[in-house]
Amino acid sequence: MSENFRAVLISGGDSGHSAEVADVSPAQLPEGDVTVRVACSTLNYKDALAITGRGSVVRSFPMVPGIDFAGTVEESANPDFAPGDRVVLNGWGVGERHWGGLAEYARVKGEWLIPLEEAFTFEQAMSIGTAGYTAMLCVMALERHGVTPDSGEVLVTGAAGGVGSVAIAVLAKLGYRVVAVTGRPEESDYLTGLGATRILPRSDFTESGKPLAKEQWAGAIDVAGGRVLANVCAQMKYRSVVAACGLAAGMDFPATVAPFILRGVTLAGVDSVMCPVDERREAWRRLATDLDPALLESMTEKITLDDCIPVADALLDGTVRGRVIVPLTDN
């Protein structure tokens, strides 16, 4: 490749924080043994923090955000990948410490890539993205700890967001009874369409609660953290499991040890960024079989590269439903 390409470029430091869509030279691409022509990327919560400067996400400048991308290998010095291979990347600090996917090209370490499942188009893969892949890791964590559809209801917080949307769809297809928690009552029809059997207001989980409350949930997937997670844990059934993967409501955890000691509740942390490759591949394999692709369109909004900067604020303000994808090329 020799021609310049377009990318969202974030600048910072003493001159202040700024983001723009700029022309970038291939010579500016970071080190890596695989160059990918990006077909589709995404705009995630972490990307929005990076673009707006509202969170300390970016570790060095200039930076191209985009913690996800799917595309075709253009050049490779890695024996595991050849030009023409369809690949997907999630996490690994891309978009934070290493230039990411909100660009027409990306150069990365081959060990960060996995082959894209044949079942998915590039746009479908990004409709899933890190959010959906994280949701699948959470479902797998519940399964590992013995939660089955017969165990009882499974609670999903942040239900109208990317992780929550995919989690509901996967759990419902697997036969679980899913209770969705959202601060957006106008999304009730959307959540029911994904498979939620009941919908609860977020306000039920944001006030200070008792160390132990009525036992209700066999499993839970939480993206909020903070007081929401503390209240979820207090309501869990005996020997139930909470898969925690987010901190949208804060990093604090104002809880007691009572649920874990007196009810044997397991709090399973789920990290998608540095997750081992074998588990990543299993999560994507499961997504190819356990997620109804027909639901992806209802949970996905398409935007252009130029839209990423204004949409970032809306995403952080909690007014964006489901997933936001950024198609970049036609390959």
Over its length of 331 residues, how does the chain's per-residue pLDDT go in tens digits?
668 999 999 998 767 889 999 999 999 999 999 999 999 999 998 999 999 998 788 988 999 999 999 999 999 999 999 999 999 999 999 999 999 999 999 999 999 999 999 999 999 999 999 999 999 999 999 999 999 999 999 999 999 988 999 999 999 999 999 999 999 999 999 999 999 999 999 999 999 989 999 999 999 999 999 999 999 999 999 999 999 999 888 899 999 999 999 999 999 999 999 999 999 999 999 999 999 988 998 889 999 999 999 999 999 888 888 899 999 976 4
The CA-atom distances, in angstroms, between 216 and each of 196, 212, 220, 244, 294 are 16, 11, 10, 17, 31
What architecture (CATH level 2) is domain 130-269?
Answer: 3-Layer(aba) Sandwich (3.40)
Predicted pLDDT at 1: 66
Q: Which two tokens stand for residue 122?
A: 């590039």
CA distance 136 to 112: 18
Among the four given CATH numbers 3.40.50.2000, 3.40.720.10, 3.40.50.360, 3.90.180.10, the one describing domain 5-116+296-327: 3.90.180.10
Beta carbons within 8 Å of 251's beta carbon, 6+ residues apart:
225, 226
Record the pTM.
0.91
Predicted pLDDT at 298: 87
Predicted pLDDT at 249: 85
Cβ atoms 73, 331 nearer than 8 A: no
In 79-164, DSSP assigns E strands to: 86-90, 105-108, 114-115, 154-156
Q: For residue 207, with 0-12 CB atoms within 10 Å meaning exposed, 13-18 middle and 19 or more buried, which class applies?
A: exposed
The full set of domain ranges for the chain reads 5-116+296-327, 130-269
Cβ atoms 39, 72 nearer than 8 A: yes
CA distance 7 to 101: 9
The CA-atom distances, in angstroms, between 288 and each of 50, 119, 180, 227, 282 are 30, 6, 23, 34, 10
CA distance 178 to 11: 42
Predicted pLDDT at 148: 98
Task: Assess whether the previous peptide bond of 293 is cis (omega < 30° from 0).
Answer: no
CA distance 235 to 176: 18
